[in-house]
Amino acid sequence: MYKVGITGGIGSGKTTVCKIFEVLGIPVFYADTAAKQIMVSDPLLVAGITSTFGAKSYTPDGKLNNKHLAEIVFNNEAELAKLNALVHPAVFRAFENWENQFDSTVPYTLKEAALLFESDSYKMCDTSILVTAPFDLKLARVMQRDQVSADQVKARMDKQMTDEEKAKMADHFIFNDEKQSIIEQVLALHKQFLKQATDTLISE
């Protein structure tokens, strides 16, 4: 099945854009939400996290001990890399399982991932979209949505790859500057993907 990866910096509006694709009947896999779920439900991943970061990684009733893990990986790139090396392959497996359920009943699927390029998961997709927005707008949106300060948003932004770096790897762009219609941009891309998906099916 034809797969489209979609990403964008914090507050760019990638989830908002995905909701428009969903209205068009395109199923969306939300990688970050899936990651949180499988960290407690995938036995292989739970075992990996427990042996790497200790039994304290989970509470006695099986919930993730976010505080314990955050203390280990926060500002420690080597430990964060270890966690990512466990979680990313598990998310790939979850994406494949999720995708198999559609079995050509939909023209294509979308995978939304904040770290689409950083995690190499774009390599599992046929094409990619980068959602971008002006810095001030992203800042204001996240401050409003999460009720946090500008400094807190900037600290999160500093941990992400820049739009310039992501743009070099992306195939398509959606400009969510609240001037250009995102619905029209989604419709134009949807048309392209329907054609691509059909062409891919014919050539298989």
Binding to ligand ATP by residue 22, rule CB under 6 A? no
Nearer Cβ to ligand ATP, position 78 or 179? 179
Q: By CB under 6 A, name the one of 11, 29, 110, 186 that touches ligand ATP.
A: 11
Binding to ligand ATP by residue 154, rule CB under 6 A? no
Residue pair 12/145 in contact (Cβ under 8 Å)? The answer is no
Positions 108 through 137 that interact with ligand ATP (CB under 6 A): 114
Hey, which residues does 111 pair with through a beta bridge? 5, 29
The Cα 175–Cα 172 span in angstroms is 10
Binding to ligand ATP by residue 166, rule CB under 6 A? no
Residues 6+ apart with CB under 8 A from 105: none
Residue pair 18/113 in contact (Cβ under 8 Å)? The answer is no
The Cα 49–Cα 58 span in angstroms is 9
Nearer Cβ to ligand ATP, position 103 or 184? 184
Site residues for ligand ATP per CB under 6 A: 8, 10-16, 114, 141-142, 145, 176, 178, 182
